[in-house]
Structure 1
Amino acid sequence: MSQFNHNKYASFKPVALTNRQWPNNSINQAPQWCSVDLRDGNQALIEPMSVEQKQRLFALLIKLGFKEIEVGFPAASTTDYDFVRWLIETNQIPDDVSIQVLTQARPALISRTFEALKGAKNAIVHLYNSTSKVQRDKVFKLDKAGIINIAVQGAKELQKHADQNPHTNWQFQYSPESFTGTELDFAVEICNAVVAQWRPKAQQKIILNLPATVEMSTPNVYADQIEWFIQHIAHREDIIISQHTHNDRGCGIAAAELGQLAGADRVEGTLLGNGERTGNMDIVTMAMNLYSQGIDPKLDLADIDEIVQVVKFCTQLPVHPRHPYVGELVFTAFSGSHQDAIKKCLDIQQADQHWDVAYLPIDPADLGRDYQEVIRINSQSGKGGIAYILDKDYGIQLPRWALIEFSAIVQADAEKSGEEISPEKIWRLFNNHYLEQAQGYKLTNYQVNYQQQEQIQVLIERKQQRCDIQASGNGALAAFVNGLAAEFKQQIEVLDYNEHALSKGAEAEAVCYIETKIAGKRYLGVAIDKDILTASLKALLCAFNQQLITEEQRQPQPA
């Protein structure tokens, strides 16, 4: 028998829910968001975040508008404990933001958790224990009463420590972990037991978090589970129903949206979906789904490039070019028929009208992006695709984001000349635009002093004018960015960076690609050199020259 055998799996049993209401409901407001990037997301990384990465990600979450942020598991990790203390002791937490911490239902861990939270103004303590049948039978080997006792004793410990620290505004959260694998009547029973411990003294509503710790069914079944739970839980008026969906079946966002239709109030997730196994619920995608329906997501996602850059830096994970809303190709049309339809719609789209453009569900400008047409030439027709020609004939392997910009240059030239796009012409355009910029600055010389912060001295020349730049930064390239920005009084940011050895020609040479944002606009820089540091400096200068030349061409010429 083949090892690929579906017979060893059983189908998930549907919920016996009569007169279900959620299919007829509509989402008309954003849920309460809680980011778990710094705990659940961090736990899923091969290399956990450094202190610098945690600090940078926390700052981004505050900037985006999150009011609830799970910052760690301080009782289980010294790094998390120290990070929570840093947040509190250095006043990093705005008064309207609650930090959330996780703890198992064990007295020693709970005590350590409250110690970490001393001095916090607003704190959510998230208590959990596993409740699913497989966990009870095969992991803990306890009956239902034993599992309930763990949860109730944990709830009592939370209340005891909260009473001893009355200066913090406490909110309690309980998760029957692996809710989707827990019998619904037992999930209600254990949650009612926990709520009974907290409800008489609860300062705020109690959060009951119903996690799809493992996504085990189609999203409609999860919605049925949420609706059934809400129908049967006691004291609903005192409870916030929260969701925490994972993406094992690829439906984490759909499950959260259907769960919201079923009556859930709150959603936990991560930026761009990082999480255990196939990931957590992607808050950016779900928020943008609401936005595309005319609903305020209560998060400011206007600078999507910054979000992608920070998440990539903090997680050290790539972002797929087709990732919804944020991928580098999602607002790019390759198909000629798509390009034609989009162009015709954009030509008549008015600023005061509701957005209605074929193939573009939202206006890319809302996210700081723009729509781009990319010319596609059949490589077998003799004309050759741009990427195919550059790689095959010249060893240039353009990253997708670089291909988008250069393709627009090729297409503009083709439309202007009406000529066939030959491989030679593609290379000539590439060489003139990036490698041999006749009107731009050229790198004459540089020196790097490797100290705690690298210092660089760079000599550049243009039209017999010499400019000596001196600056420091976290690396030679960063120092050059700082120096150029200061010398020319421009805001310069490196958005992406790629390099590789040339696959054709001189094997010792390397090519470097840099995507920058200068004065609010994106520019590509490319350079080739035998030394990779030299190539990176030249590539940055190339991008700067693009901006410089563009601005000069816009200036009115003397009569």
Structure 2
Amino acid sequence: MLANPIQKYKPFVPFDRDFSERTWPSRRITTPPIWMSTDLRDGNQSLIEPMSVERKLRFFDQLLKIGFKEIEVGFPSASQTDFDFVRRLIDENRIPEDVTIIVLTQAREDLISRTVEAAAGARQAIIHLYNACAPAFRKIVFNMSRDEIRNIAVTGTRLVKQHMAKYPQTRWGYQYSPEVFSTTEPDFALDVSNAVAEEWDATPEKKLILNLPATIEATTPNLYADQIEWMHRNLARRDSIVLSVHPHNDRGTAVAAAEFAVMAGADRIEGCLFGSGERTGNVDLVTLALNLYTQGVHPGLDFSDIDEVRRCAEYCNQLPVHPRHPYAGDLVFTAFSGSHQDAIKKGLSQQQADALWEVPYLPIDPADLGRSYDAVIRVNSQSGKGGVSYLLEQEHGLVLPRRLQIEFSRAIQRVTDETGREVTAASVHDIFQDEYLKQHAPWKLVRHRIVGDPSAAEGHTFSIEVDLEHDGQVRTVRGEGDGAISAFVNALGLPVRIMDYHEHAIGTGTDTRAASYVELRLGDSATGFGVGIHRDIVTASFQAVLSAVNRHVKAGVDAMPAEAAQSA
């Protein structure tokens, strides 16, 4: 690093003089903004391996379940995959009547034509056009003057209108982004934006969405808020504009920048779940929404099952959510410090169900997000009673998934609270066996016969026959699926939904065994784990499923009777 970085890096200052007219610091957010998810476009384009159509559809359905009404679904002129995905949403009538899709395009006529064609036929759709306006792009990338850049935006808007007119059955909206607004001179950003609004002929009934992206987060969030408020004050047709922001996280302050921008006059926020996106990501809509919730403002988005949302994002993006991620990480409601645990325990013991939330160290009630009170559970090797996962790994080679560590720690907690004694490695393993490995009722695996390769490529279907012992009788069930576990679950005929799966080897050489961990739901129950250990990985996975099912039944969860499982 340079001893004097000012020689290489010039601090960004958006205004020639201090913007002393600012009023945003004294404002509060009392209503949620309009939310727009760009997970399927901006988020998807940043992935190491872009989503398949199956993953995109699953993500789209999850966004609908959360409650998003505006979803950017692709860049249809950029690839046939994106074009086909947009058409599939429309042709298969997958878009609810109150949801608007957005599609992105650059300002070239062939790309605009292709983009409008992709969205034609939707009940309502927004065409999102952008072009870079910042001086570095004008000089380095395009070698163009201000007038030439403005002309690209205006001409592109005119072409969008012309192509929209070909498909009157769709209710069209329009969004324009002066890309890299964050480092564009405010007077030029205003000039281009006003020119676009005039070309679109924006009115209160026919609004323009003007999106002001921090394409590169270049300065502190308060200065970005100044830029937004200056635009908010000076736009020629402010009552005919939905003012939108699209913060990126290059400086790690995107959430603050977005909140300040709303205080400064923004109506709408674009971002991704858990901050997915190029480089350091887009602004995190989960954190923004739940920040509002903790201030007594309902965000209009439903994160009452945050674990399901996180698992969907992890599956579709093929990227993990950090265990310390705000609100959603596996460890955010887990305290390791003894003093923290003590304060949380006391707070929970005094908290009334209908009272204001006042539990120390917890800014939100985990139950509001579908989480349990795992903050009081000790789970690491430094936490006395709670070093259960450490002991199991060190003594028995069992590497428990994080959520299983938390779940199993409850069983340990029950024992230690009842006995008042510390637990040893041997007693931890005994409790683990009783809790997971010895769960053989009401269903017990006798044998199975499988047709097809369990590790076959996606789409391969094979059959399975399973002999199960139930109420002392052995019954044979059959099922099919595209994987060993799916075929087994189908054979059971129970309302089982697999939420997560982990496996690893125990030992080496001829003594190697497989450990399988399955997290599932039985009906509408909460999630719970099952564990199987066997020399054969497929058998271990089946044992794990039955372990979880039996634990659910033992806990009082209703399941279909064994007769319902007869598929033969």
TM-score bin, normalised by smaller chain: over 0.9
Task: Give how far 1:440 is off.
Answer: 5.4
Q: 1:13-24 to 2 correspondence within 5 Å?
A: 13=13, 15=15, 16-24=18-26
Q: Which moved more, 1:178-187 or 1:502-511?
A: 502-511
Supply the distance in 2 between the matched residues of 1:34 and 1:101 (Cα, whole angstroms).
12
Is the Cα contact below 8 Å between 2:203 and 2:240 reproduced in 1? no
Determine whether 1:375 maps to 2:416: no
Task: Give how far 1:227 is off.
Answer: 0.7
Task: Give how far 1:72 is off.
Answer: 0.7
Q: 1:299 to 1:141 in 2, by over 3 A?
A: same
**Secondary structure in 2 matching 1:351:** coil
**Secondary structure in 2 matching 1:333:** coil
Determine whether 1:10 maps to 2:10: yes
Supply the distance in 2 between the matched residues of 1:87 and 1:452 (Cα, whole angstroms).
25
Give the alignment partner of residue 419 of structure 1, picking from 418, 421, 429: 421
Give the alignment partner of residue 461 of structure 2, picking from 442, 446, 453: 453
Q: CA deviation digits over 1:102-137, x for unaligned, max 9?
A: 010111111111111221221111010011111111
Q: 1:440 to 1:410 in 2, by over 3 A?
A: farther
**Secondary structure in 2 matching 1:358:** coil
The answer for unaligned runs of 5 or more in structure 2 is 453-458, 559-568
Name the amino acid aligned to 1:164: K
**Secondary structure in 1 matching 2:35:** strand
Supply the distance in 1 between the matched residues of 2:296 and 2:401 (Cα, whole angstroms).
34
Is the Cα contact below 8 Å between 2:208 and 2:241 reproduced in 1? yes
Supply the distance in 1 between the matched residues of 2:237 and 2:553 (Cα, whole angstroms).
64
Task: Give how far 1:28 is off.
Answer: 0.5
**Secondary structure in 1 matching 2:71:** strand
TM-score (norm 2): 0.91
Q: Give the corresponding residue for 1:516.
A: 520
Q: Give the corresponding residue for 2:199.
A: 197
Name the amino acid aligned to 2:513: E
Name the amino acid aligned to 2:121: G
Give the alignment partner of residue 267 of structure 1, picking from 269, 273, 278: 269
Is the Cα contact below 8 Å between 1:395 and 1:504 reproduced in 2? no
Q: Give the corresponding residue for 1:283.
A: 285
Q: Give the corresponding residue for 1:527.
A: 532
Is the Cα contact below 8 Å between 1:171 and 1:202 reproduced in 2? no
Task: Give how far 1:276 is off.
Answer: 0.6
Q: CA deviation digits over 1:366-421, x for unaligned, max 9?
A: 1211112222575598x893222212221111121111111111121111122231
Q: Give the corresponding residue for 1:310.
A: 312
Q: Give the corresponding residue for 2:564.
A: none
Q: 1:69-468 to 2 correspondence within 5 Å?
A: 69-199=71-201, 204-372=206-374, 373-375=376-378, 385-437=387-439, 439=441, 441-450=443-452, 452-461=460-469, 464-468=472-476
Q: 1:78 to 1:203 in 2, by over 3 A?
A: farther
Q: Give the corresponding residue for 1:60.
A: 62
Q: Give the corresponding residue for 1:557.
A: none
Task: Give how far 1:436 is off.
Answer: 2.9
Q: CA deviation digits over 1:166-215, x for unaligned, max 9?
A: 33211111000011111111110111111110116885210100001111
Q: Give the corresponding residue for 1:36.
A: 38
Supply the distance in 2 between the matched residues of 1:552 and 1:139 (Cα, whole angstroms).
62
Q: CA deviation digits over 1:348-370, x for unaligned, max 9?
A: 22222222221221221112111
Q: CA deviation digits over 1:432-471, x for unaligned, max 9?
A: 2222336553321112223943322222225633232322
**Secondary structure in 1 matching 2:201:** helix
Is the Cα contact below 8 Å between 1:384 and 1:423 reproduced in 2? no
**Secondary structure in 2 matching 1:521:** coil
Name the amino acid aligned to 1:219: P
Is the Cα contact below 8 Å between 1:346 and 1:357 reproduced in 2? yes
Supply the distance in 2 between the matched residues of 1:72 and 1:41 (Cα, whole angstroms).
10
Task: Give how far 1:242 is off.
Answer: 0.3
Supply the distance in 2 between the matched residues of 1:6 and 1:477 (Cα, whole angstroms).
59
Q: Which moved more, 1:162-171 or 1:122-131?
A: 162-171
Q: Which moved more, 1:419-428 or 1:149-158?
A: 419-428
Determine whether 1:497 maps to 2:501: yes
**Secondary structure in 2 matching 1:387:** helix
Supply the distance in 1 between the matched residues of 2:76 and 2:428 (Cα, whole angstroms).
56
Q: Which moved more, 1:250-259 or 1:426-435?
A: 426-435
**Secondary structure in 2 matching 1:332:** coil
Name the amino acid aligned to 2:482: N
Determine whether 1:47 maps to 2:55: no
Q: CA deviation digits over 1:222-242, x for unaligned, max 9?
A: 111101111221111111100
Determine whether 1:470 maps to 2:478: yes
Give the alignment partner of residue 550 of structure 2, picking from 545, 552, 557: 545
Is the Cα contact below 8 Å between 2:436 and 2:530 reproduced in 1? yes
Q: 1:422 to 1:200 in 2, by over 3 A?
A: closer
Supply the distance in 2 between the matched residues of 1:475 and 1:4 (Cα, whole angstroms).
59
Supply the distance in 2 between the matched residues of 1:3 and 1:395 (Cα, whole angstroms).
49
Q: 1:505 to 1:324 in 2, by over 3 A?
A: farther
Is the Cα contact below 8 Å between 2:507 and 2:513 reproduced in 1? no
Is the Cα contact below 8 Å between 1:305 and 1:495 reproduced in 2? no
Supply the distance in 2 between the matched residues of 1:552 and 1:118 (Cα, whole angstroms).
47
**Secondary structure in 2 matching 1:447:** strand
Name the % identity.
Answer: 50
Q: CA deviation digits over 1:34-91, x for unaligned, max 9?
A: 1111111110111111111111111111222111111111112111111111111111
Q: CA deviation digits over 1:230-262, x for unaligned, max 9?
A: 122111111110011111111111111110010
Is the Cα contact below 8 Å between 2:336 and 2:380 reproduced in 1? no
Supply the distance in 1 between the matched residues of 2:434 and 2:99 (Cα, whole angstroms).
52
Supply the distance in 2 between the matched residues of 1:356 and 1:492 (Cα, whole angstroms).
37
Is the Cα contact below 8 Å between 2:248 and 2:283 reproduced in 1? yes
Supply the distance in 2 between the matched residues of 1:3 and 1:48 (Cα, whole angstroms).
40
Supply the distance in 2 between the matched residues of 1:200 and 1:384 (Cα, whole angstroms).
62
Is the Cα contact below 8 Å between 1:394 and 1:504 reproduced in 2? no
TM-score (norm 1): 0.93
Name the amino acid aligned to 2:283: M
RMSD in angstroms over aligned alpha carbons?
2.3
Name the amino acid aligned to 2:185: E
**Secondary structure in 1 matching 2:125:** strand
Supply the distance in 2 between the matched residues of 1:380 and 1:241 (Cα, whole angstroms).
50
Q: 1:377 to 1:88 in 2, by over 3 A?
A: closer
Paired residues, number? 548
Task: Give how far 1:139 is off.
Answer: 0.6
Q: CA deviation digits over 1:269-299, x for unaligned, max 9?
A: 1112111111111111111111111112111
Is the Cα contact below 8 Å between 2:14 and 2:227 reproduced in 1? no
Supply the distance in 1 between the matched residues of 2:311 and 2:4 (Cα, whole angstroms).
40
